[in-house]
């Protein structure tokens, strides 16, 4: 039986390679398992780069920069792994995402186990437990005290780690986690055990503010000269103080911060 840590490990094995790479072709070996609209796939998957790879419970979500995601439910023994394109797929292969360099990402599971969906935007409705993970960051349930309590369960995690933890708050990805830390004025690599409740409440406040704005006014938010999200490039200047932004790897993700505007405590 596949459990969360197994899915996590599986992702660890391929996410570093696949993130940022362009998918050159999609080969469907089992159309009964792979619920993939071929027109949408042609238009938004082939020739597009993978933005992030995330786990939601036992789902693996491969998000493309074209704002579609391929969602894999791992079933009881599904597996996603990298393989050379020259190795013939076995009878359990369901789908293969090929990269130009000669490798491919394969999903396999026995018989009719597992599911694969191609989803536009954030429309995960109907995908069972994927809808029910963590707290919705914009729901009334996620009050400041609740967020503090949830964060305190992971004292050794970083602020970014908490924001990206889908079991605490569902739906925050790499870029918004950085944006929230930037807007709140704290370094994303601060450890939860080193921040006060008041500081966590401030993170909560900006978490809501950033996500609400990004949800309701996506275009405006992404065009806002005061937002970090528009400066995610090597050597970019901080939108506030014009210092050169710093990048680092945190929680396995490319992270941007301003060493001047974001405080260490």
Say which residues have a Cβ less than 8 Å from residue 91's Cβ, sequence separation at least 6: none
- Within residues 246-265, the interface with Zn ion by CB under 5 A covers 258, 260-261
Task: Convert residues 183-222 into a mask of x (bound to Zn ion by CB under 5 A) and - (unbound).
Answer: ----------------------------------------
- Nearest approach in angstroms of CB 202 to Zn ion is 17
Considering Cα of 88, then 92, then 94, then 99, what sign does the dihedral take? negative
What is the gyration radius of the CA atoms in the chain, in angstroms? 19
Residue among 169, 104, 103 at smallest CA distance from 133: 169
Total binding residues toward Zn ion, as defined by CB under 5 A:
7
Cβ-based nearer residue to Zn ion, 23 or 245: 245
Cβ-based nearer residue to Zn ion, 93 or 262: 262
CA dihedral 40→45→47→53, nearest 10 degrees, is 170
User: Which one of 124-132, 143-151, 179-187, 234-242 is the stretch in contact with Zn ion (CB under 5 A)?
Assistant: 234-242
Q: Is 181 in the site for Zn ion (CB under 5 A)?
A: no
Query: ∠ at Cα 121 (248, 251), nearest 5°?
Result: 20
Distance (Å, rounded) from C-alpha 35 to C-alpha 41? 11
Cβ-based nearer residue to Zn ion, 112 or 243: 243
Q: Which structure tokens are listed for 139?
A: 């729901």
Cβ-based nearer residue to Zn ion, 96 or 160: 160
Cβ-based nearer residue to Zn ion, 68 or 228: 228
The owner of tokens 């009719």 is: 112
- Is residue 219 within a helix (H) or strand (E), and if so which, with residue range? helix 218-223
Q: Is 238 in the site for Zn ion (CB under 5 A)?
A: yes
Q: Is 237 in the site for Zn ion (CB under 5 A)?
A: no
Q: Is 240 in the site for Zn ion (CB under 5 A)?
A: yes
- Nearest approach in angstroms of CB 244 to Zn ion is 9
Q: Is 241 in the site for Zn ion (CB under 5 A)?
A: yes
Distance (Å, rounded) from C-alpha 64 to C-alpha 51? 5
- Nearest approach in angstroms of CB 263 to Zn ion is 11
Residues lying near Zn ion in the complex (CB under 5 A): 238, 240-241, 243, 258, 260-261
């Amino acid at each position: 039986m596949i459990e969360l840590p197994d899915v996590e490990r599986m992702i660890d094995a391929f996410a570093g390679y696949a993130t940022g790479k362009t998918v050159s072709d999609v080969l469907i070996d089992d159309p009964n398992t792979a619920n993939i609209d071929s027109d949408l796939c042609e238009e938004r998957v082939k020739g597009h780069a993978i933005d992030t790879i995330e786990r939601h419970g036992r789902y693996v979500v491969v998000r493309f920069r074209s704002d579609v995601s391929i969602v894999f439910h791992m079933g009881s023994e599904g597996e996603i792994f990298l393989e050379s394109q020259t190795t013939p797929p076995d009878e359990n292969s369901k789908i293969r995402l090929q990269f130009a360099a000669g490798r491919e990402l394969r999903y396999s599971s026995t018989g009719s186990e597992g599911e694969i969906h191609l989803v536009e935007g954030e429309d995960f409705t109907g995908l069972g437990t994927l809808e029910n993970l963590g707290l919705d960051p914009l729901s009334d349930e996620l009050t400041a005290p609740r967020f503090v309590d949830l964060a305190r369960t992971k004292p050794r995690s970083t602020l970014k780690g908490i924001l990206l933890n889908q079991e605490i708050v569902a739906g925050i990805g790499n870029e918004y986690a950085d944006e929230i830390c930037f807007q709140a004025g704290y370094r994303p690599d601060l450890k939860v055990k080193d921040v006060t409740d008041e500081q966590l409440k401030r993170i909560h406040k900006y978490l809501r503010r950033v996500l609400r704005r990004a949800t309701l006014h996506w275009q405006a938010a992404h065009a806002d000269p005061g937002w970090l999200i528009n400066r995610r490039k090597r050597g970019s200047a901080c939108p506030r103080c014009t210092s050169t932004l710093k990048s680092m790897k945190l929680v396995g993700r490319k992270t941007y911060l301003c060493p001047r505007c974001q405080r260490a405590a």
